[in-house]
Amino acid sequence: MGFLVLVGVFLVSAAVGYRLISNVPSLLHTPLMSGMNALSGVTVLGALAAAALALHSGSRMLGIAAIVLATINVVGGFLVTDRMLRMFKSGK
């Protein structure tokens, strides 16, 4: 991927994300944050590639450790968000 293409992706994503997230009601700000938190574990993708393709054992271990941390982030984040969102019930 060309560097400039990635810069474009970054800018467009940030702008679209900003618009979408502005519409989330303050009622849901806690689950919004934990959900976004889960998404920040997207690093797991980089970690998988880094760990599998590393030639040196040192950098492979770092990659494996990154997978563990990022997976805790992703799984913990999505599950806790789900738990919270299911608590919000309508009175009707």
Partner 1 sequence: MTFGIYETAGLAVILAVLAGIRLMSSVERAALGNRLGALSMLAAIALVLWHNGIVDARALYIAMAIGTLIGAIMAFRVTMIRMPQMVALLNGLGGGASLLVALSVILESHDIMVMPARITGQLALVIGALTLSGSLVAAGKLQGLLPQRPVHNRGAGVLSLLFLASIGALAVFATLADGRTAAIASFVVLALALGFGAHFTLPIGGADMPVAISLLNSYSGLAASICGFAVGDILLVSIGAVVGAAGLILTRIMCRAMNRSLIDVLTGSTGRAGGSAPPARPADAAPAAPHTAREMDPASILASASSVVIIPGYGMALAQAQTQVRALYDLLESRGANVRFAIHPVAGRMPGHMNVLLAEVDIPYERLVDMDTINPDFPATDAALIVGACDVVNPAANSAEGTPIYGMPVLRAEDAHSIIVCNMDRKPGYSGVENTLYGKDNVCFMEGNAAETLEGLIARIKSGAGGTAVS
CA dihedral 71, 75, 78, 79 (to 10 degrees): -160
Residue 8 CB, nearest approach to partner 1 (Å) = 10
- Radius of gyration of the CA atoms of the chain, in A: 17
**Residue from 31, 26, 29 nearest 80 by CA:** 31
Residue with tokens 């968000």: 81
Residue 38 CB, nearest approach to partner 1 (Å) = 7
Residue 41 CB, nearest approach to partner 1 (Å) = 5
